[in-house]
Amino acid sequence: MARLPRLDLAGVAQHVVQRGNDRQACFADDGDYLHYRQELGEAALKHDCAVHAYVLMTNHVHLLVTPQAMGAVSRMMQAIGRRYVGCFNARYHRTGTLWEGRFKAAVVDSDTYVMRCHRYIECNPVRAGMVATAGDYRWSSHQHNAHGSHEPRLIPHPTYLALGATEDERRAAYLALFAEDLAKDEVDTLRLNTRQQKAWGSERFRAQIEALTQRAAAVRPRGRPPTSRDK
């Protein structure tokens, strides 16, 4: 059976996840993380995608991205894959695929849901037990979004800009969101929506996506509990 295309609309944010094939590491040292970030920035610029948040984990990647045209996220991810995987294979004298099939993506409602997605992404290393706080992890957007560390590849979402009238106000309000992580049910719901490539947001948002795409945007009933692969 042919796979349905992802829900994909210009101007609507997407939570993107790409995993290493068979859970293998996608990053072996600092040079790999730096190279992926460079490729991400260049591909996002070339294909007109605004990257709002990211985290590079050992064997997978999370991104929050708003495309300016349909298909732009796919083109961005394909460009990153071609360049990064080729260099990774050459560097480590390996062949074959690095990623586990196609990336997964869920469209994300604006307002509170976008900020929740920021928290989900940047708290991933905390949930994995790698660091105590989001700010302790080097390979994410948190230092930029919460503390102003310069990252030219990142573009703020309008919801982020609405957090305050000045940069200092926005960063303070953003950092305050991280006083605690998302509730477990919200984490599970975002994971499920991403795995099934649906719409994460309010009922009104899902109805709007369904009207625009003529496709179901709500998740199917769970067939199994979340596993570590869904983190």
| Residue 231's pLDDT band (cuts 50, 70, 90) | low
Q: By CB neighbour count within 10 A (0-12 exposed, 13-18 middle, 19+ buried), where does 1 fall?
A: exposed
Cα–Cα distance for residue pair 176/222, rounded to 1 Å: 33
104 within 8 A of 159, measured Cβ to Cβ: no
Token pair 């994971």: residue: 191
Q: How distant, in Å, are the alpha carbons of 3, 25, 40, 131, 178 from that of 142?
A: 34, 22, 16, 13, 10
Say which DSSP state 20 is in: B
Q: Is 225 exposed, middle or buried (0-12, 13-18, 19+ CB in 10 A)?
A: exposed
Phi, psi of 54 (to 5 degrees): -160, 160
Per the structure block, which two tokens stand in for 113?
């849901």
The CA-based dihedral angle spanning residues 41, 42, 46, 47, taken in that order and rounded to the nearest 10 degrees: -50
In tens, the pLDDT along 157-212 reads: 999 999 999 999 999 999 999 998 899 999 999 999 999 999 999 999 999 999 99
The DSSP result for 143-200, as a single string, is: HHHHH----TTB---HHHHTT-SSHHHHHHHHHHGGGSPPPHHHHHHHHHHHHHT-EE
**What is residue 4's predicted lDDT score, i.e. its pLDDT?**
64
Question: pLDDT for 12-48, tens place per residue?
Answer: 999 999 999 988 999 999 999 999 999 999 999 999 9
| CA 156/CA 73 separation, integer angstroms | 17
Cα separation of 65 and 79, whole Å? Answer: 15
Q: What is the pTM of this model?
A: 0.92
Q: Where does the pLDDT of residue 1 fall: very low under 50, low under 70, confident under 90, or very high at 90 and above? A: very low
Q: What is the mean pLDDT of the chain?
A: 92
- CA-to-CA distance for 135 and 143, rounded, in angstroms? 6
Of all residues in the chain, what percent carry a pLDDT higher than 70?
94
pLDDT reading at 6 higher than 90: no
Q: What is the mean pLDDT of residues 143-150?
A: 95
Domains in the chain: ranges and CATH: 14-211 (3.30.70.1290)
